[in-house]
Amino acid sequence: MATTAHIHAHAAPQGFIRKYIFSLDHKVIGIQYYFLALAAVFTGMFLSLLMRIHLIWPTAQIPLIGEIKPETYLSLLTMHGTIMVFFVLTTAPQSGFGNYFLPIQIGAPDMAFPVLNMLSFWTTLLAFVVMIAAFFVTGGAPLHGWTGYAPLSALPNSGPGEQLGADLWITSIAIFCIASLMGALNFITTTLDLRAKGMTLMRMPLTVWSWLITAILGLLAFGVLLSAGILLLLDRNLGTSFYVPLVVVNGQVMGHKGGSPLLWQHLFWFFGHPEVYIAILPGMGVASQLLSTFARKPIFGYRAMVYAIMAIGLLGFMVWGHHMFMSGMSPYSAFAFSLMTMSIGVPSAIKTFNWLGTLWGAKIRLHSPMLFAIGFVSLFVSGGLSGPFLAQPVLDIPLHDTYFVVGHFHLIMGVAAIFGIFGATYYWFPKMFGRMMNESLARVHFIITLVGTYAIFMPMHYLGMAGQTRRYSQFTEVAYQTKLLPVQTFMSYAAFITIGAQLIFLFNLFWSMWKGPKASDNPWEATTLEWTTATPPPHDNFGGHTPVVNHGPYEYNVPGASKDFVMQTDPATATAH
C-alpha cells in the first residue's frame, strides 16, 4: 500500500481557526458538511411548512411573511426542491458522512487531496449563500421549479422571481457543480489509491462502494449540468438563443429566435436522473451496513450488492428520457427509455431481497439506527413500486403533472434518503462526538417520522390518480379539485406533526453532543475499521499506525469465532475456518 505518512503532511493544527474553521482534516470537513446540510434541511422544511399552510389556508396572514401569493408559492416550491436536492440529499450522505468515514473505513489517514477537500466545502457553502441570497433580491426567488425549465428560466421578464433571483439560482448551481466535482475527484482518488494493506476492493464496506459509485456518477453528471447552466446564463444575459425559440411575453416579442427548450430538458435530465441515484446510493450503502450490523449476520449476497450498485449507476445514465415523455418524443425513443427504466427494477430488487435476506432468521438488535435502516427499506419499496408505473409513457402522460409523481419521488428520493441520513447519524454519532444519543427520544422520533411521512406522501398517490395537479397554489377555484381538499388538509396536519418531531431529533443531537453518556470505541460491536480506532478518532485516524485488514466487512456470527463478530483488523487466524 502506498499511503500514508506524507498524506498527513499537515500536522495536527493547534489554533481554533485552522482546527475547526479552515481545517484540512476530513473529519472536521465532514462535520462541516453535515451542519451545512442540517441548516439547509431546516430551511427547506420551513419552506414546505409555508406551502402546506398555504394549500389549506390560502389567505392566511402568516406573521412576518403575510399572505402567500401564487407566485410566492412557486418560489417556495422552487427553493424547497433545489435546497433539498442539492444542499441536503447530495451534501449530507455523500459529502458529510462520506468525507468523515470513507478514509477511516479504508484505513487511510486522510483524503488524497486535503486542500482540495477544504476548498470543496467552502465552495459548497458559497453556493448555499448565493442560493439563499435569491430570496432577498428584487423580485425574490425564482419560480421555475428545481428543474429550471426553459424558456421560463431563460427569460428575465417571464415572472417576478426570474430576474436577478434566477441569475443567482443558476450561479449557485454552477458553483455547486464545481464543488461537487472537486469532492468526487477526491473520493475516487482516495478510494483507489489510499486503501490500507489487505483492503481489497471486495473487502470494502458497502458504504465505501456506494460513496465510490456516487462519486463516479457525480463526476460524469455535474459537468453536464454546468455546461447547461452556462448556456442558460448566456441566453439570459448575452442574447444567445440556445434554449429560447421565437417567443412573445406579455405581448412583447423577445429578441431570441430558434432555440430549443427541449435541449435544456435533455441536458438537465442527463444530469438529473443520475442525481436521483447520487441522493439514494449512499443511503443504500448505509442501510446495508446497518442491517448487517444489527442483524448480526453477514450482508446477504455482498458481491451481488456491489454489482447491483454498479448496475444502478450505469443504467441511471440511460434513462433520462423518462422525465420527458410529455415532450412529444418519438414513441420509439419513449419505448427504449421505458424499457431501460424498468430494467433498473432488477438491480433494485436484488438489493431489496438481499436486505430482506439479511434480516431473515436474524436475532435483530432493534437499536435506533436499525429502526431507521428498516424504515429506509420500507420507504424504498413503497416509493420504488410506483416507479414502474411512471416508467410507462402511457401511464406517465396522465400522471406526470399530478401529485402521483410528487408522492413517488418524495418517498424514494426524499424521505428514504433522509432515513439513510438519520440511520447514519444515530449509528455514527458516538464515533463522531464520543457520546451516545438518547435512545428513547430516537425511538419517538422514528415512530412519528415513519408514520408521519407515510401519512403525508401516500395520499399524494391517490390524489394524483384522482387528477389533482401539482404546482397549483390553490385548489379552491376548480370544483373537482376542491372536493379533494380534505385530503390535502389531512396531509398538512400530518406535515405539521412530522416537522414538529424533527425538533426532537434536533434537541437529541445537540443535547447528546454535550450531555449524552460517553461512548465506548465500539458501542455497536461492529466490524469495520472506524470501530477499531479511538472515539473520536485522532487527527491521523489511527494514532500513528496503519491498520492491516484481514477480513471482509461483515463477518458476524462466523462459526468457530470466539465472539459474534470479527473485526476487519483481527488476525487472520481469528476464525476457525
Partner 1 sequence: MIGTKEPRINYGGAVTLPPIMGGGGDGSGGGPADFSDRLRRARLGLAVGLTPIIMLFVSLTSAYIVRQGLPTLDENTNRYIHDWLPVNLPWLILILNTCVLLVSSVTMEVSRRAIAREAALAPVRSIPGVSLGEETSFPWLGLTVGLGLMFLFGQWMAWRELAFRGFFLATSPSSSFVYLLTGMHALHLAGGLLALLYASAVALLRKPVESRRVVIDVTSWYWHFMAVLWIYIFALLEFAR
Question: d(Cα 17, Cα 19) in Å, to the nearest integer?
Answer: 5
Question: d(Cα 25, Cα 14) in Å, to the nearest integer?
Answer: 12
Task: Measure the N-to-C terminal CA separation of the chain; round to a whole number of Å.
Answer: 27
Calculate the alpha carbon distances from 334 to 177, 344, 465 in Å.
29, 16, 22
Judged by CB under 8 A, the residue of 10, 18, 19, 197 near partner 1 is: 197
Residue 209 CB, shortest distance to partner 1, in Å, is 10
Restricted to residues 296-335, the positions that interact with partner 1 (CB under 8 A) are: 298-299, 301-303
Calculate the alpha carbon distances from 192 to 185, 201, 209, 213, 513 in Å.
11, 9, 11, 12, 34
Using CB under 8 A as the binding rule, whether residue 199 contacts partner 1 is answered as yes
Dihedral class, residue 526 (left if φ above 0, else alpha if ψ from -120 to 50, else beta): beta
Restricted to residues 201-220, the positions that interact with partner 1 (CB under 8 A) are: 201-203, 205-206, 219-220
Using CB under 8 A as the binding rule, whether residue 9 contacts partner 1 is answered as yes
Question: d(Cα 60, Cα 63) in Å, to the nearest integer?
Answer: 9
Restricted to residues 456-495, the positions that interact with partner 1 (CB under 8 A) are: none
Restricted to residues 555-574, the positions that interact with partner 1 (CB under 8 A) are: 555, 558-559, 572
Answer yes or no: are the C-beta atoms of 569 and 104 closer than 8 Å: no
Alpha helices in 158-253 (DSSP H): 164-193, 206-237
Nearer to partner 1, 162 or 555 (CB): 555
User: Which listed range, 93-101, 199-207, 373-381, 502-510, lies at the site for partner 1 (CB under 8 A)?
Assistant: 199-207
Q: Which residues pair with 469 in a beta bridge?
A: 402
Residue entry with cell 465532514: 30
Residue 525 Cα to chain centre, angstroms: 27
Residue 301 CB, shortest distance to partner 1, in Å, is 7
Cα–Cα nearest to 148, from 255, 237, 229: 229
**Count of beta carbons in the 10 Å neighbourhood of residue 203:** 20
Judged by CB under 8 A, the residue of 124, 347, 553, 567 near partner 1 is: 553
Restricted to residues 337-396, the positions that interact with partner 1 (CB under 8 A) are: none
Using CB under 8 A as the binding rule, whether residue 200 contacts partner 1 is answered as yes
Nearer to partner 1, 53 or 548 (CB): 548
Question: d(Cα 545, Cα 107) in Å, to the nearest integer?
Answer: 10
Question: Residues in contact with partner 1, total (CB under 8 A)?
Answer: 78
Nearer to partner 1, 213 or 231 (CB): 231
Residue 32 CB, shortest distance to partner 1, in Å, is 22
Using CB under 8 A as the binding rule, whether residue 270 contacts partner 1 is answered as yes
User: Which listed range, 161-169, 225-233, 383-391, 448-456, lies at the site for partner 1 (CB under 8 A)?
Assistant: 225-233
Residue 231 CB, shortest distance to partner 1, in Å, is 7
Residue 99 CB, shortest distance to partner 1, in Å, is 16
- Quick check: bond before 388 cis, omega within 30? no
Using CB under 8 A as the binding rule, whether residue 81 contacts partner 1 is answered as no
User: Which listed range, 154-162, 378-386, 408-416, 542-550, lies at the site for partner 1 (CB under 8 A)?
Assistant: 542-550
Residue 252 CB, shortest distance to partner 1, in Å, is 14
Judged by CB under 8 A, the residue of 198, 345, 388, 434 near partner 1 is: 198
Judged by CB under 8 A, the residue of 19, 39, 50, 193 near partner 1 is: 193
Q: CB under 8 Å, gap of 24 or more: what pairs does 326-335 form?
A: 326/396, 326/397, 326/400, 326/401, 327/262, 327/265, 331/393, 334/393, 335/393
Nearer to partner 1, 234 or 364 (CB): 234
Answer yes or no: are the C-beta atoms of 181 and 223 closer than 8 Å: yes
Answer yes or no: are the C-beta atoms of 166 and 153 closer than 8 Å: yes
SS (H, E, C) 39-55: HHHHHHHHHHHHHHHHH
Here's the x/- map for partner 1, 497-536, by CB under 8 A: it reads as: ----------------------------------------
Restricted to residues 96-135, the positions that interact with partner 1 (CB under 8 A) are: 106, 112-113
Q: Determine the residue type at 49.
A: L
Answer yes or no: are the C-beta atoms of 517 and 436 closer than 8 Å: yes
User: Which listed range, 82-90, 161-169, 428-436, 543-551, lies at the site for partner 1 (CB under 8 A)?
Assistant: 543-551
Calculate the alpha carbon distances from 275 to 178, 270, 554 in Å.
15, 9, 29
What backbone torsions phi and psi does residue 66 show, to the nearest 5 degrees?
85, -155
Cα–Cα nearest to 118, from 54, 22, 258: 22
Restricted to residues 146-185, the positions that interact with partner 1 (CB under 8 A) are: 181, 184-185
Nearer to partner 1, 234 or 385 (CB): 234
**Contacts of residue 250, Cβ cutoff 8 Å, sequence gap at least 6:** 157
- Cell numbers linked to 104: 477511516
Judged by CB under 8 A, the residue of 76, 127, 551, 567 near partner 1 is: 551
User: Which listed range, 295-303, 385-393, 455-463, 498-506, lies at the site for partner 1 (CB under 8 A)?
Assistant: 295-303
Restricted to residues 230-269, the positions that interact with partner 1 (CB under 8 A) are: 230-231, 234, 238-242, 245-246, 257-260, 263, 266-267
Using CB under 8 A as the binding rule, whether residue 64 contacts partner 1 is answered as no
User: Which listed range, 162-170, 293-301, 382-390, 497-505, lies at the site for partner 1 (CB under 8 A)?
Assistant: 293-301
Q: Which helix (H) or strand (E) holds 105?
A: helix 99-105
Residue 184 CB, shortest distance to partner 1, in Å, is 8
Using CB under 8 A as the binding rule, whether residue 11 contacts partner 1 is answered as no
Question: d(Cα 439, Cα 450) in Å, to the nearest integer?
Answer: 16
Nearer to partner 1, 158 or 191 (CB): 191
What backbone torsions phi and psi does residue 62 show, to the nearest 5 degrees?
-90, 130
Residue 379 CB, shortest distance to partner 1, in Å, is 25
Residue 196 CB, shortest distance to partner 1, in Å, is 7
